[in-house]
Structure 1
Amino acid sequence: MHKSILITGSTDGIGKLTALKLAKEGHKIYIHGRSEDKVNLVVSDIKQASNNENIKGYVADFSNLKAVKQLADLINKEIPSLDILINNAGIFKTPVSKTDAGLDIRMSVNYLAPYLLTENILPVLEKGNHTRIVNLSSAAQSTVKKGILTGDVSINASDSYAQSKLALTMWSFHFAQQHSNITTIAVNPGSLLNTKMAKEAYGQHWSPAEKGVNILFDLATSDAYQDATGKYFDNDKGETIGHFATAHPDAYDRDKILMLEAMTNEVLSDLGE
């Protein structure tokens, strides 16, 4: 059965390659990126490469949470149902450390934006068929500090990235408990895959991008993962494919999860979201 699939950050890297792989299977794909020109180009390229006309693009800069909310409103108007959401959009190296609203840019793009988008398109997700959400975490996870979440403190890129990815993982587990009708999985698709992000950050890679693409494809579509909600998949654990593993201890700490949820809602309310 063909699915309706939204992949954020799908104009580059494993997001784009996953979109192409899914499009070739005949699924309806919604591309997302921050550049309208790039989104239009990728939509056209994927249509041609996959011989699938059911490809549409959406534009939103995830460092601007008001734009994320507008994207969610548009999705609610235009898409009747979503079967799969892959929260793939993420940044590591960037010329600026703060958003225009004064938030840590990695926390905004990697955590607050997917949180806001997902929570606001719940009506569309709940109409999906055996709905799944795949959230891209990382092997890099470290305890979330309030000052980083609120933008009151500045730290280096590696630390803020690791905190943003743990925040996303903690929320994934919390969301899974709240919405038992939706399969929600956090995944480390593989460290230092051959992508633009890894090249910009480290100048090298350990594994081909396809390693990440294949696990995203499987987690989104394979029957084997239909009931694997509230789990963390670590694709660094195996030669060709990883397995479910234990995330950072904070991801299982109920008090810390509830504190993160409260702080997140406070940040978003302060921004009027």
Structure 2
Amino acid sequence: MKTILITGSTDGIGKMAAFRFAEAGYEVILHGRNPAKLAETIKEIKTATGSKNIQGFVSDFSDLNSVHQMVDAIKQEVPNLDILINNAGIFKSNAPSTADGFDIRFVVNYLAPFVLTKKLLSVLAKGKAPRIINLSSAAQAPVSLDALKGNVALSAQEAYAQSKLALTMWSFNLAHLRSDMVVIAVNPGSLLNTKMVKEAYGNHWSPAEKGSNILFDLAISEEYENSSGRYFDNDKGTVKGFFAPAHPDTENLSKIENLISTTEHILAK
């Protein structure tokens, strides 16, 4: 039985995917920022699916110390991990900067999954045919390293798009470094019917199920077992998308190297 960790799984497509995995009999690990909401989500999924193989961990992804604490707790309780879905994300926020002076979009959407994944690689390595699914977006914009370092202020849209390209560039880099794992970046679909989209844009184009269904498929389908280092664009096609080119910067080795080195420098402080 595969063990699957989904970040940001008390809402939206993360929660819907968790339901599908639980219904299919997988061991599901949820993550949420709010302890009460996380507990309620676990109870809801257990009641609806009859699954007992569900647990949860609390972490505020805008605080990297909290991410480290969550990883330490996971390592104590979870012997091996087969699938990691980095789904947690943020667009709008009443507090656009973290206590450390970084844009919250960069921290939650990029730095937190970077830290989480790096610290969990040893646990994933014990899993069976491990996969890492990183939630990208159709919104991708060239990354300002000064903005990443917190030296330049960006609009919510700019920061979101840059954080998602950073995540995608790192995904390609990680796929290159870890041939023992499948790493896929995915745009789950633009303007899905989720809370984050409603808060950001007020309307939607597609049902949220379109996003949760592709997360389920990418995580477990044999169809994608040799698809590491690729970008799945779920805006393509009708019912389901397909692999397509990501932003050109994902192929720029110099820019990727600068991004990763800057990221490591930030995290070393």
CA shift at 1:152, angstroms? Answer: 1.2
The residue that corresponds to 1:216 in the other structure is 215
Q: How many residues align?
A: 269
Partner of 1:44: 43
1:164 aligns with 163
Q: How far did 1:231 drift?
A: 0.2
User: Following the alignment from structure 2 to structure 1, what is the Cα–Cα distance between the partners of residues 98 and 49?
Assistant: 36
Secondary structure of 2:263's aligned partner: helix
Task: Determine helix, strand or coil for the equivalent of 1:207.
Answer: coil
The structural deviation recorded for 1:250 is 0.5
1:55 alignment partner in structure 2: 54
Q: Deviations over 1:252-272 (max 9, x none)?
A: 1111101000000011011xx
Deviation at 1:184, TM superposition (A): 0.3
SS in 2 for 1:257: helix
2-structure distance, mates of 1:76, 1:262: 26
> TM-score scaled by structure 2?
0.99
Q: In the aligned structure 2, how far is the partner of 1:7 from the partner of 1:54?
A: 14
After superposition, what is the alpha-carbon deviation per residue over 1:8-66, rounded to whole angstroms, capped at 9, x for unaligned?
00000000000001100010000001000011000010001111010001000000001
Q: Note if 1:137 corresponds to 2:136.
A: yes
Question: Which SS does the other structure have where 1:127 is aligned?
Answer: coil
AA at the equivalent of 1:186 = A
Q: Which residue of 1 aligns with 2:261?
A: 262
Question: Contact 1:234 / 1:244 at 8 angstroms: preserved in 2?
Answer: yes
Structure 2 counterpart of 1:80: 79
Return the alpha-carbon distance in structure 1 between the equivalents of residues 259 and 145 of structure 2: 8
1:22 and 1:29 in contact (8 A); partners too: yes
1:190 corresponds to: 189
1:238 equivalent in structure 2:
237
The alpha carbon displacement at 1:200 in A equals 0.4
* Structure 1 residues without counterparts, runs of 5 or longer: none
SS of the equivalent of 1:206 reads: coil
The sequence identity of aligned pairs, in percent, is: 56
Aligned to 2:10: 11
Q: Given that residues 30 and 56 in structure 1 are in contact (C-alpha distance below 8 angstroms), is that contact kept between their aligned partners in structure 2?
A: yes
Q: Secondary structure at the match of 2:237?
A: coil
**C-alpha distance after superposition, 1:209-258 (max 9, x if no partner):** 00001100000010000110000000001111000000000011111101
**C-alpha displacement at 1:76, in angstroms?**
1.4
Equivalence for 2:63: 64
In the alignment, the residues of structure 1 paired with residue 101 and residue 113 of structure 2 have an alpha-carbon distance, to the nearest angstrom, of 18
Q: TM-score, normalised to structure 1's length?
A: 0.98
| CA–CA separation in structure 1 for the residues paired with 2:48 and 2:101 | 40
Residue in structure 1 matched with residue 21 of structure 2 by the alignment: 22
Structure 1 contact 189–236 (Cα < 8 Å) conserved? yes
1:204 maps to what in 2?
203
| Structure 1 runs of 4+ with >6 Å offset | none
Residues 76, 123 of structure 1: 8 Å contact kept: no
Q: CA deviation at 1:148?
A: 1.3
